[in-house]
Amino acid sequence: MIQERPFDILSKSSGKQVLIRLKGGVYIRGTLTSFDAHMNVVVESAEELDDGELKAKLGTILLRGGNIIYVSPA
Amino acid sequence: MIQERPFDILSKSSGKQVLIRLKGGVYIRGTLTSFDAHMNVVVESAEELDDGELKAKLGTILLRGGNIIYVSPA
Amino acid sequence: MIQERPFDILSKSSGKQVLIRLKGGVYIRGTLTSFDAHMNVVVESAEELDDGELKAKLGTILLRGGNIIYVSPA
Amino acid sequence: MIQERPFDILSKSSGKQVLIRLKGGVYIRGTLTSFDAHMNVVVESAEELDDGELKAKLGTILLRGGNIIYVSPA
Amino acid sequence: MIQERPFDILSKSSGKQVLIRLKGGVYIRGTLTSFDAHMNVVVESAEELDDGELKAKLGTILLRGGNIIYVSPA
Amino acid sequence: MIQERPFDILSKSSGKQVLIRLKGGVYIRGTLTSFDAHMNVVVESAEELDDGELKAKLGTILLRGGNIIYVSPA
Amino acid sequence: MIQERPFDILSKSSGKQVLIRLKGGVYIRGTLTSFDAHMNVVVESAEELDDGELKAKLGTILLRGGNIIYVSPA
């Protein structure tokens, strides 16, 4: 088995739809376009979700990695 | 695809309107004029918003990066 | 006695089922596929549990190590 | 456009009135007299405000940067 | 008096029963089998306790040091 | 104007009465006798205050800098 | 005046009774036997107090420095 590194999943998800859960119960859904070693990410066509319902259309956002609980390729 | 870095969005937003969400439910809207590697930012003509409503006009503010959840070009 | 290091348990659990408890009462169950020195982990076939009940099927997720309370091989 | 750095606003505000918002809803108003790279600041003639009302006169205080949300020149 | 270092107590407790208090009122009891400089620990036959009562049998767990309040040899 | 550094106020307050506000609404009043670069401080004849009222006489205490909101020379 | 360093109080308190306040309102009383640069400490004959009342006898404990608010020689 070739061991991947966790951030490989961010490389593979670039340009694709992801769901991101933040601390405090906020979810962001959109297209991952860039990330860095601190897990700071840029998401385009970002939507903020509350219990699965659309709360706000945010366009492009820069999310600080420190508030991210998980990133999931959609 | 040329991979951008997340902070490129801050460079591109300099001198433009941004919406910033802070921890604790505070939103700041205004013109981004500078930032550093810790995501400390200066926002001019800054307004504090509470649930989309104007709460206070703050003028120029220096925001600590550590409290930022996201920055979104308006 | 040969002293192991704590992260050895992650190496041994790679490709296997784990239960992960996060801050804020969230549990994730799934297959551990990679990890790094910050305890960032990728879990495949991830399920989010609430009090032992399935809350959401998440597929593959990248979990930030900083929010993990414990990882337990199932 | 010459890009300033965020802390330039602290240099420019030295000796002047500032409003500082801290985590936990505390506001401090007074004269900024010094700061360092961690955003630790000294404020003279400092007043603690609660919802815009004067809560306490503190004289000179050393504020830890880590608790600061924003600094705003008055 | 020969001054010991705090982590010596972890070395001496390896292979023995410990009680660990985590942030958020969670207690873990079990056999300490490894630790590192961040106080990350592996506990075998781990049990989660709530107010002294057994809440869950966890088997082997890797606990992040950052959430530990104290470790006490039983 | 000669720019002082914030910690100069701690040097000048050594041996004098200070009021220290901690996270979580705790106030400590007493004589500052030492400090270091992390803002860890020793306070002698320390008293814990709650809403301005004496809650406990603590004698000498070592306070972790990380919990300090501000230090104010009395 | 010879300026002491804050941790000198830990050296002087080794082998003696201390009262330690932790985040979250937990108090520990016992004999300080070792400490390190992170303020991690070992306390023997440790007792957990709640509002001054004995809540639990803990024996020897290793306390993480990060949760300590203050250490006070008794």
**Domain assignment of residue A3, yes or no:** no
F30-40: pLDDT as tens digits: 999 999 999 99
- For residue F49, tell me if it sits in a domain: yes
Please indicate whether, in this complex, the C-beta atoms of F6 and D40 are within 8 angstroms of each other: yes
Cβ–Cβ below 8 Å for A6 and C40: yes
Q: Is residue G3 over pLDDT 70?
A: no
> How do C41-50 and B53-63 pair as beta strands?
unpaired
- The domain spanning residue C45 has which CATH number? 2.30.30.100
Q: Do E42 and C9 touch (CB under 8 A)?
A: yes
Q: What is the pLDDT of residues B53-67, one digit of tens each?
A: 899 999 999 999 999
Q: Is residue D3 part of a domain?
A: no
Reported pTM: 0.91
pLDDT, position F1? 46
Distance from CA of D68 to the nearest CA of B (A): 7
DSSP C15: T
Number of structural domains chain E divides into: 1
pLDDT score recorded for residue A22: 94
- Whether residue F37 lies inside any domain: the answer is yes
**Secondary structure E strands in chain F:** 17-22, 27-35, 41-50, 53-63, 68-73
Residues D26, F65: C-beta atoms closer than 8 Å = no
Cβ atoms of residues G48 and E27 within 8 Å: no
Subunits that touch chain G (at least 3 Cβ pairs < 8 angstroms)? E, F
In tens, the pLDDT along E14-67 reads 999 999 999 988 999 999 999 999 999 999 999 999 877 899 999 999 999 999
Q: Which two tokens stand for residue F3?
A: 């720019």
What residues pair up with B43 in beta bridges, in sequence order? B32, B61
Q: What confidence tens digit (pLDDT) does each residue in D14-72 have?
A: 999 999 999 988 999 999 999 999 999 999 999 999 877 899 999 999 999 999 999 99
Please determine, for residue B5, whether its predicted confidence score (pLDDT) is greater than 70.
Answer: yes
Taking only the tens place, the pLDDT of each residue in F15-28 is: 999 999 999 889 99
Note whether G65 contacts F64, CB cutoff 8 Å: yes
Residue C19 forms part of a structural domain: no
Residue of C nearest to E65 (CA): C69
Domain membership of residue A13 (yes or no) is yes
- Please give the pLDDT value at position A6: 95
Q: State whether residue G71 sits within 8 Å of chain E by CB.
A: no
Residue C69 β-bridge partners: none
pLDDT of D1 reads 46
Kind plus residue range of the DSSP H or E element containing C12: helix C8-13
Q: Express each pLDDT in B10-21 by its tens digit.
A: 999 999 999 999
Domain annotation covers residue C6: no
Q: Is residue B13 part of a domain?
A: yes
Q: Name residues whose C-beta falls within 8 Å of residue A14's C-beta, 6 or more positions apart in sequence.
A: A32, A33, A34, A35, B1, B3
- Among C35, C64, C67, the strongest candidate for a mutation testing the A interface, having the largest count of A CBs within 10 A, is C64
| B22 close contact with D: CB closer than 8 A | yes
Token pair of A56, please?
């706000």
Range of the domain at G68: 29-74
